[in-house]
A and B are shown apart, each in its own frame.
Chain A
Amino acid sequence: MGFYFAQFLTGLASASALFLVASGLSIIFGVTRIVNFAHGSLYMVGAYLAYSVVNWLPHGVFGFWAAVVIAALAVGVLGAVVEFVLLRHLYRSPELFQLVATFGVVLVIQDAALAIWGPEDIVGPRAPGLDSVVRIFGEPIPEYDLALIVIGPTVLLAVWLVLNRTRWGTLVLAATQDREMAAALGINQTLLFTSVFFLGAFLAGLGGALQIPRETISLLMDLNVIAEAFVVVVIGGMGSVPGAFLAAAIIGELNAFGVLVFPQVTIVLAFLVMAVVLVLRPQGLLGRPEIHAHAPAHVREAPLQPFGHRQRLAVATVIVLLAALPMVAGDFTLVLATDILVFAVFAASLQFIMGTGGMVSFGHAAYFGLGAYGAALVVKHLGGGMVSGLVAAPLAAGLGALLFGWFCVRLSGVYLAMLTLAAAQIVWATAFQWQEVTGGDDGILGVWPPGWLADRTAYYYLALVVCCGAILALRRIVYAPFGYVLRGGRDAPLRMAAIGIDLRRHQWFAFVIAGVFAGIAGGIYVYSKGSVFPDELAIPRSVNGLIMVLFGGIQTILGPIVGALTFTVLEDQLSRLEYWRAILGAVILFVVLIAPQGIVGGLARLADAVTDRSMREAER
């Protein structure tokens, strides 16, 4: 009994920190509609800063709490600066750009923290005056945990009062619902949004600073907390602070008790709860369904045109050139070229689901990784050859997409994106924790092609045939009736049921197709590397896919190929440098701000703008 109660209190204490991060994320999303990937980074910076300030201030009760508040305020300012310099320019961009931009911030902050605090994990100080335990039902409970249990609801109350009892809060809620209307009523949104970012970042910083007596401070804190915070926000309802509290408590308790029953799968449990909540109550536990969503007017794409003779000729030329590559290139270039082909398929499958299908996936790495693991597992456990491995890859990915897709297509927009992320985290956690089968962190080694393909050039030709075939097949699907349905469903979902189409089923099928093609890419990838690790399923891999699509331009079918080329070469060049993440982050931010239509889309826009201008001038 006492043990379970103690466990319950531990759960609540963890919930407090989670609530602080998630409530900040939720408030920011509610008002600005930005899914802030960098929110975990703000949490991490809060922890590091608090550690430094504690050491700098005189030791004692006052010093500790002053450090916590100073760190939180500093993080608040950092958040406001990020908003002011970067995100302010992205409010009208599609969510993909915002997400990728905030991921750029994640990369920059990661390297900044590495430069300032070094790569070693840091053990934080105890909280003076709260560093012993009290016995409740005979079980030792850390005093600091009790303090956290009090702090959580106190912050909830304070935030609730600010939002519901002040004019600022009324304006925030008004802007949450309809930004354009709020501006037309004289509300200065720029100021409002910056202040909202300050508050949200302050809460994240507070959450991080309060964690230092409980958790070692490390460079992994950011992405670890962000996935969980997403889950909390989605379960609670986007934009709902009480919802975030409730969901944090649920997740905190789930972790505290789940660890007793299934120590291996606590992460999976949290995501399962999220999947169930989203399917039963898509707007989250305390979220409100959107009654009037006034999305900013965006530029519509032009209808797709089938390739003419010139385009066909160009494609054929490129394929011939690629086939000729081994004559001039060395092994090293061929390895890079194979990577590019693999990622071109990966990005094309992601573009298919996002651009044609209109379903933004934040977790597409799941299917890439499932393909890679599918092939590797066949080799490792069934002793299968390469052919069976390459068949197993799309099969495993397709089955995964069949399962997760069933949940995902029941949602749309950001919620769908979150669920895809959650699905990817489930797969990642399984691969990471199921040591006996997947090898856990050590991965699966020795997945090599048979002798006749061991040569780099031979394998390159295999990759070339499979990948070009895959991309052309995807393109064909886009122009087939099925592609019409997807485009129609993306543009006018209401219409589909009114012309007898089961849109959800088609979208589910599209999800599976995208999964299968990502799986093909994963299969080719694993045989070129000879091994697979859980990293192939992790958030950065998914984001890399998004970046490739974004580099190429989301609504151009050839874009992903250009994106994969650019990104893979860029990463290859940069990763030799010391602070390559920060540089990559800066490049991402640059592209998002300067060429929001991507490289291919940007060039097309440029051509359009030139003709537009001359058209307009001719009109006058």
Chain B
Amino acid sequence: MSVLQVTGLAKSFGGLKAVDDVSFAVEPGELLAVIGPNGAGKTTCFNMISGQLRADAGTVRFDGTDISRWPARKIWRLGVGRTFQITATAPSMTVRENVQLALLSHHRKSSNLWRPATTMYQDEADRLLDRVGMVEQAARAAGVLAYGDLKRLELAIALAHAPKLLLLDEPTAGMAPGERTNLMALIANIVADEVISVLFTEHDMDSVFGHADRILVLNRGQVLAEGSVDEVRNDARVRAVYLGGGGTYGGSAPNA
């Protein structure tokens, strides 16, 4: 059974169809990339799957459960984690506190008014930070982190409740090639270790072609193409509306 099954998803903003009848599925342990120009509906799709936005039409099934009308926090409890394109961490809290916050919620302690939170789930938080290579920076304020480190922190937060499905919105945007490869390798490791499925968007075609199991191409809110890496990169329509001649990105062989 598919981990995620999206059927006929649609959303309009003031007459503009941001997402228009989109259907696809994610299989267990699969890395599915969603690509397309800005405004194609990638983030809107993510927001509907994770419950940040309510769909106008269509259904989203997670592990067989229909979660289409669920609020984001219930979807999270069910085992869907996500990162944001524009990182959403609390800048005036430390790196560790940011992770602790997710753990406090996971252990249903977020309404505790009395116990000092500093020492709660500290080890668990540090283990997660260690996993993404951030434990040395645990005591720093998230607001002073470098961009790539913020992305890593986002990943640690998203892993806090041991999710079955991860939604990663441009996980490596703005990182150097080395960092990028490392992070994608890390994600691939986590997928293998814990049989997590990953749905991710990326503008960097080299990352997409190098790491995705399958690719979904969105354009103006609709699915333009879906298939393996080779099928998509050789698809004439995808080349015409999105990829172009390949001169403006590394149109060379995948560097996996």
Contacts and interface: CB of A to CB of B under 8 A. Distances in A.
Interface of A: 300-303, 306, 476-477, 479-485, 487-488, 490-492, 494-502, 506, 509, 513
Nearest to A476: B114
29 contacts: A300-B92, A302-B92, A302-B141, A303-B93, A306-B116, A479-B117, A481-B120, A482-B112, A484-B117, A485-B101, A487-B92, A487-B93, A488-B90, A488-B93, A491-B90, A491-B91, A494-B52, A494-B84, A495-B84, A496-B73, A497-B71, A498-B52, A498-B158, A499-B105, A499-B161, A500-B76, A502-B73, A506-B110, A513-B113
A501 B92 contact: no
Question: Interface extent on B, as a size class?
Answer: 35 or more
Interface in B49-89: 50-52, 71-74, 76-77, 81-82, 84, 88-89
Q: Which of B71, B89, B104 has the most CB of A within 10 A?
A: B104
A499 B73 CA distance: 6
Interface in B138-160: 141, 143, 157-158, 160
Q: Which of B50, B90, B100 has the most CB of A within 10 A?
A: B90
Contacts, number: 120
B109 A481 contact: yes
A501 B92 CA distance: 19
Given A494-B84, A500-B161, A506-B111, A488 B91 contact: no
A69 to B, nearest CB: 42
B85 to A, nearest CB: 11
Contact of B115 (A303, A480, A490): A480
Contacts of A509: 111
A78 to B, nearest CB: 39
Given A477-B113, A480-B115, A482-B110, A499 B157 contact: yes
Contacts of B74: 500
Contact of B101 (A476, A488, A502, A513): A488
A303 B145 CA distance: 13
Given A495-B84, A498-B72, A481 B143 contact: no
Nearest to A482: B113
A497 B93 contact: no
B76 A480 contact: no
Contact of A499 (B102, B114, B116, B141): B102
Contacts of B161: 499-500
Contact of B76 (A477, A483, A497): A497
Given A476-B114, A501-B110, A481 B93 contact: no
B173 to A, nearest CB: 17
B153 to A, nearest CB: 11
Contacts of A479: 116-118
B117 A481 contact: yes
A479 B97 CA distance: 11
Contact of A301 (B52, B82, B92): B92
A247 B12 CA distance: 29
Contacts of A502: 71, 73
B94 interface: yes
B106 interface: yes
A506 B81 CA distance: 21
Nearest to B103: A499
Contacts of B102: 499
Contacts of B157: 495, 499
Q: Which 3 A-B pairs have the closest CB atoms?
A: A491-B90, A497-B72, A495-B88
B91 A481 contact: no
Given A301-B92, A499-B160, A484 B97 contact: yes
Contacts of A491: 89-93
Contact of B116 (A300, A302, A480, A513): A480
Contacts of B92: 300-303, 487, 491
A480 B112 contact: yes
Contacts of A499: 73, 76, 101-102, 105-106, 157, 160-161
B108 to A, nearest CB: 9
Contacts of B201: none
B51 A481 contact: no
A482 B104 CA distance: 9
Q: Which of A477, A487, A495, A509 has the most CB of B within 10 A?
A: A495
Nearest to B104: A481
B199 to A, nearest CB: 14
A495 B117 contact: no
B219 interface: no
Nearest to B90: A491
B109 A303 contact: no
B104 A485 contact: yes
A184 to B, nearest CB: 21
Nearest to B158: A498
A490 B94 CA distance: 14
Given A481-B110, A481-B112, A300 B141 contact: yes
Contacts of B120: 481
Contacts of A481: 104, 109-112, 115, 117, 120
A302 B92 CA distance: 6
Nearest to B81: A498
Contacts of A477: 113-114
B142 to A, nearest CB: 8
B98 interface: yes
Q: Which of B89, B91, B93, B120 has the most CB of A within 10 A?
A: B93
Contacts of A306: 116, 118
Nearest to B50: A498
Contacts of B51: 497
Given A306-B116, A498-B158, 13 more contacts: A300-B143, A302-B141, A480-B115, A483-B117, A484-B117, A485-B104, A488-B98, A495-B90, A497-B51, A497-B71, A498-B72, A498-B82, A499-B73
A481 B88 CA distance: 19
A499 B106 CA distance: 8
Contacts of B114: 476-477, 480
Nearest to A509: B111
B141 to A, nearest CB: 5
Q: Which of A302, A479, A483, A485 has the most CB of B within 10 A?
A: A485
